[in-house]
Structure formats: structure tokens, C-alpha cells
Amino acid sequence: MRLFLSPPHMSGKELEYIQEAFENNYIAPVGPFLERFEKSVAKFVQAPAALALCSGTAGLHLSLRLLGIGPKDKVAVSDFTFIASLSPILYQGAAPILIGCDESWQMDPNALEEALQKERPKAVILTHIYGQSADVKSIKELCERYGVHLIEDAAESLGTTFDGQYTGTFGILGVYSFNGNKLLTTGGGGVLVGPKELIERARSLATQAREPGVEWYEHKTYGYNYRLSNIAAAIGVAQMEVIEERIAKKRQIFAWYQELLSEKASFMPELPKSFGTRWLTTALFEADPLRILHELKKEKIESRPLWKPMHMQPLCKEFAYFGQKKEEELFAKGLCLPSGTAMNKEDVQMVCEVIGRCLG
């Protein structure tokens, strides 16, 4: 491939920090870089506390565990998202209630309200997709009115704000992903943010729930092996140092696409009062997006259809759905375009030329 969708982009400090971890022999899921990484994320998004984990999915799973979600419970979740927003609900034996999107491409508050009235879920998992913010204030207000926990799946939206506040910090718990294709990466990882007391309980659950204060392994409950390693956290510390630069570049790439494709495509909106990172530039075409995808592939350029809505997945056939199925049209017409932060304007021009040729 000449151009990937969103490949890792190192700051240049990663190896130096890894070297430091090696010199101190902190090759373990403990060590000073873990604390530095957690502090840097918490400080950046202005969250009370943060916990570094092996994945964003682990963060969502821990959130449900912490809030006592189990079999017989229902959890409302964005329908237009990646499966990892939903699968932790199944890990807990609970039932997902799928909530469709509105013209913002994000969870529709009206559909959510109907689901809150009819299904009485115990929690809501709200995804902020493609680096853009959902109408999180309306959704939070609804959750408060109906006495439901709000968990934010901000896996794709680290650095995005709504009304000046970072996504991931509106709900009781929020999750960021540091997977290889995200704005920043630890080569696979996630961070859970929330109140100190919950994060301390999550820390225990993420390390097999060993009771403190005794020499032997004492367990009153079961946990998981979900911690990030100190080595991966060293990469994360170096990545957090360039977060502002990376956000500015993602937005620049989006602006180039917008300029060059203005007559050929329409783009994901940015809600008033929000500031998105444009983690991926996503566009809708009047032509079959798979035709464009194959043309790009011939030129060794990676692109991807928009998320296939959860209600269209064979896995989710039996789950309740609220909404207007607007996401079906997005899936039918949309593509994620290469958005790596090492790209320059010539790269974007090349992608747009191929698209232009394909559209005739």
C-alpha cells in the first residue's frame, strides 16, 4: 500500500522512552511510564483519574462491570458504530438496545428517549464516531432525567470537544482507544477515565482483583488481565506530547479533501458547539462507494466503507432497535478516506484524482 487509512505516526521520542524503560528493566505491566501516561491523558482531557488498559474494548467492559450491569439488564448503544461498542454488553450477558443516528451521523436523542421510556435500560453507551462529537449534552440530560448511567465510547474521539469540554468526560466513565489506527497509538491500548473511586476499583478488576494488604493472593471477586504494559505506556507518553499537532493535521487533511471534492462528495457534519478531530475524513458519494474503493485499491490506496450498522449485522438481528435507519443510507454511500497525519497535500490530491476519474 502507498497510502493507508490511518497508520501509526511516531513523534520521534518513542524509542528514547522505551530505551529508558529497558535500562530500568520495567518490562512489565507496572512502571513509571504507566503513571506518566495515565496522568498525561487525565490532565489533557481534564478528567479526575485515568487507567491505562490493553484496549479500549477492555475499558468498556470494565465500565459495565463497575456499574453492575449483568444478565437481565438492558444497555442502549449507538447503532452506527464499530462492534466493540456493543460486544462488552454481551460479555456481561446483558441485552443491547440499538439506537439509530440522526443527520449528525451520531446517536439520535429522540430515538434514545423513546428507548428509555419503553425499554428502561440501565446504561447508555454513546459512541462519538470518526473523531466527531455527538450531541452529548442532550444525551447526558436525558440520562439524568431517566436515572441511567452514561458511558462514553470516545475510542475514536480523543481530543474532540463539545462546548469546550472533552468527549469522554461527560458521562460517568469514558473510554479512549490507542489502537494502531487511532489519532495516537500505543501499538494497542486504551484509557478509561472517570471519578477516582471508580478508577481505583477498575484498577483492581484490571489486575485480577487481588485483595490488598495480604501477602498471598486473596480474591473476593474475579477480575481480568487488562493492564497496559509499561513499554506500551512509554510509547503513549511520547504520543501524548504531540496530540495538538496531530489534531491540527487531521483537520487540515479534512479541509484539503473538502476543498478538492466539494462538487463530488458531501461530508460528515460537525455539530454546532463541537470541535472534532476529523480522525478519519468520511465522505458520501452518489456513486457506489465500493467502485471507488476498488479503484483506490488498484492504486494501492486504502479506503473503507463506513461502519455497517449494528442492526444490519447477523449477530444483532434479534436486538431491539429505535430510530429511523438513517445509518443504512450512510453505509450505502459512504467511504473513509486515507487520513494519516504524515500525509501531505499531494497525497490528498492523488486520492482525489483517482476518485474524480472513477466518478467520470
Ligand X SMILES: Cc1ncc(COP(=O)(O)O)c(C=O)c1O
The reply to whether 57 sits near ligand X by the rule CB under 6 A is yes
The phi and psi torsions of 5 (rounded to 5 degrees) equal -65, -50
- Cβ-Cβ contacts under 8 Å for 259 (sequence gap 6 or more): none
Q: Can you tell me the distance from the alpha carbon of 209 to that of 213, in angstroms, rounded to the nearest whole number?
A: 13
Of 31, 96, 174, 190, the one binding ligand X by CB under 6 A: 190
The reply to whether 101 sits near ligand X by the rule CB under 6 A is no
Q: How far is the CB of 117 from ligand X (least distance, A)?
A: 26
Q: How far is the CB of 270 from ligand X (least distance, A)?
A: 18
Of 84, 292, 296, 348, the one binding ligand X by CB under 6 A: 84
CA distances from 336 to 97, 224, 278, 344 (A): 26, 34, 11, 17
Q: How far is the CB of 219 from ligand X (least distance, A)?
A: 26
Of 63, 132, 169, 179, the one binding ligand X by CB under 6 A: 179
The footprint of ligand X on this chain (CB under 6 A) covers a number of residues equal to 14
Q: How far is the CB of 84 from ligand X (least distance, A)?
A: 4
Long-range contacts of the stretch 259-262 (C-beta < 8 A, 24+): 260/348, 260/349, 260/352, 261/352, 261/355
Assign residue 338 a region: left if phi > 0, alpha if psi is -120 to 50, beta otherwise? beta
The reply to whether 133 sits near ligand X by the rule CB under 6 A is no
CA distances from 84 to 140, 143, 296 (A): 21, 22, 27
Of 106, 127, 132, 185, the one binding ligand X by CB under 6 A: 127
Of 17, 33, 82, 254, the one binding ligand X by CB under 6 A: 82
Give me the 278-317 binding string for ligand X, x by CB under 6 A, dash otherwise.
----------------------------------------
Q: Are 319 and 231 in contact (CB under 8 A)?
A: no
Which of 127/339 has CB closer to ligand X? Answer: 127
As given in the structure block, the three cell numbers for residue 236 are: 503513549
- Cell numbers 438513517 correspond to 326
Q: Can you tell me the distance from the alpha carbon of 256 to that of 40, in angstroms, rounded to the nearest whole number?
A: 31
Give me the 2-41 binding string for ligand X, x by CB under 6 A, dash otherwise.
----------------------------------------
| Residues at the contact surface with ligand X, assessed by CB under 6 A | 55-57, 81-82, 84-85, 127, 153, 155-156, 177, 179, 190
